[in-house]
Amino acid sequence: MVVNSGTSALHIACLAIGVGKGDLVWTSPITFVASINCAMYCGANIDFVDIEEESGNICAVKLESKLKDSVENRCLPKLLIVVHLAGASCEMMKISALCKQYGVKLIEDASHAVGGKFRGYKVGSCKYSDMTVFSFHPVKVITTGEGGAVLTNERESASLMRNMRSLGIERSRNNWVEYHGEADWYHEQQHLGYNYRLTDIQCTLGIRQLKRVEKFVGERRDIYERYIDALRDERLVKVIKERDGVESACHLVIIKLQGQLAKERDKLFMHMRKNGIGVQLHYRAVYRHPLIRNYPGYKFRELRCAEDFWRSTMSLPVYPGLKKQDQKRVLRVLREGVRCLRG
């Protein structure tokens, strides 16, 4: 089901699961703010699960430990939102098993992962989750200008989300609650819904792009692999790679700076920007934003791996159409910056 943004998709997915005031929602600290805003829109309490050092995704081992502690403290979450950072899936088999064991609902925030796979299954199949959310923002693998989607295998949830994206108005006679006539104009508002519909023009653009997903991902993968090959022997710059069983959508190429160079990340970042290279940060630990840090009921604390990750990483340019000579220039400027900072 398509909606007008990835944020809207996350919001109505939370609503369909029944997230409300007083419920607890966990997500990754390395993500865009939308991954946690959706829970706050519902009035839920929030918290974060620390990440793996290798991938930047939620760590299944740390999740298990946090769930065990939550049982003892009687504060299990209602929902976990995992985030497939850079287009590479989390370890969904282990995470799904834990969520089922502890009775926690599971949403995949796959905003980066259109065209990705986990253990042979396409991200979005919902084999390991209750719902999967995609984003079609202009910088994503495919775009509708702005837009998003929610995928689920649960009919009732799908029906509720269709209703919620259109102001809570139900036009299908099969779903009416109190129909008293045959007039074609009849409809019912059954929920306090939202105007989250995607336009027909945007849908047309999206349908055309869906046919080219494999091509787009293939071009991104070529660029990603060239970065890996070029930086393979660099001691101080490491490309974040996909784990076994994961086929990334290659939405981002994230590099992690090593040793003392990690402390100079911001200087290297500015060196790249000053030389016309559009590097980015994905992401500052989301719990550090003032709104979230001061959100009622949230107990701020630093998470060790998340802190190390966000303070030592940056994203290199990757998009279909990036020419080899331009990619070589990115690498040249990167190496120049590293040499300057090493003295």
203 and 113: one domain? yes
Q: What is the pLDDT of residue 173?
A: 76
User: What does the pLDDT read at residue 65?
Assistant: 98
> Tokens standing for 267?
């200087």
Phi, then psi, of 289 in degrees rounded to 5: -65, 140
- 225 lies in the same domain as 328: yes
**What does the pLDDT read at residue 278?**
97
77: left (phi over 0), alpha (psi -120 to 50) or beta: beta
Q: What is the pLDDT of residue 343?
A: 66
Separation CA 225–CA 69 (nearest Å): 40
Q: Are residues 257 and 199 in the same domain?
A: no
**81, β-bridge pairs:** 27, 107
β pairing state of 79-83 and 24-27: parallel
Q: Do 185 and 233 lie in a common domain? A: no
Q: Is 259 helix (H, G, I), strand (E, B) or coil?
A: helix
DSSP, collapsed to helix, strand or coil, labels residue 343 as coil
Q: Which ranges of the chain have pLDDT less than 70?
A: 180-182, 343
DSSP per-residue codes, 121-161: EETTS-SSSSEEEEE--TTSSS-SSS-EEEE-S-HHHHHHH
pLDDT of residue 49: 98
**Encoding tokens for residue 56?**
């930047």
Answer for the pair 43, 20: CB distance below 8 angstroms, yes or no.
Answer: yes
Q: What does the alpha-carbon distance between residue 343 and residue 335 come to, in Å, rounded to a whole number?
A: 12
pLDDT at residue 202, as a whole number: 97
Strand partners, 48: 27
- Answer whether 0.85 is exceeded by the pTM: yes
Asked if 217 and 255 sit in the same domain, the reply is yes
Residues 157 and 86 in one domain: yes
193 & 218 share domain: no
Q: Among the three residues 157, 189, 210, which one is the final residue of a domain in this structure?
A: 210
Domain stops at, among 183, 210, 237: 210
pLDDT at position 181: 65
| CA–CA gap between residue 24 and residue 18 (Å, rounded) | 11
Q: Write down the pLDDT at residue 256.
A: 98
- What local confidence, expressed as pLDDT, does residue 172 receive? 81
Q: For residue 68, what is the domain's CATH number?
A: 3.40.640.10
pLDDT given at position 340: 94
Of 193, 210, 227, the position where a domain reaches its end is: 210
Are 226 and 162 contained in the same domain? no
DSSP codes, 64-107:
HHHHHHHHHHT---SEEEEE-GGGPPP-HHHHHHHHHHHT-EEE
What does the block give as tokens for 109? 């925030």
pLDDT for the residue 141: 96
171 and 311 inside one domain? no
Cβ atoms of 203 and 276 closer than 8 Å: no
pLDDT, residue 180, reads 65
Q: What is the overall mean pLDDT for the chain? A: 96
Position 174 scores a pLDDT of: 77
Same domain, 162 and 63: yes
Q: What is the number of domains present in the chain? A: 2
Q: What pLDDT is recorded for position 333?
A: 98
By C-alpha distance, which of 113, 105, 61 is closest to 89? 113
Q: What's the alpha-carbon Rg for the chain, to the nearest Å?
A: 21
DSSP characters for 320-342?
TT--HHHHHHHHHHHHHHHHHHH
Instruction: Give yes or no: residues 313 and 282 share one domain.
Output: yes
Could you list the residue range(s) of the whole structural domain that residue 151 is in?
A: 2-210
327 and 235 within one domain? yes
CATH number at residue 286: 3.90.1150.10
Residue 184's pLDDT is 77
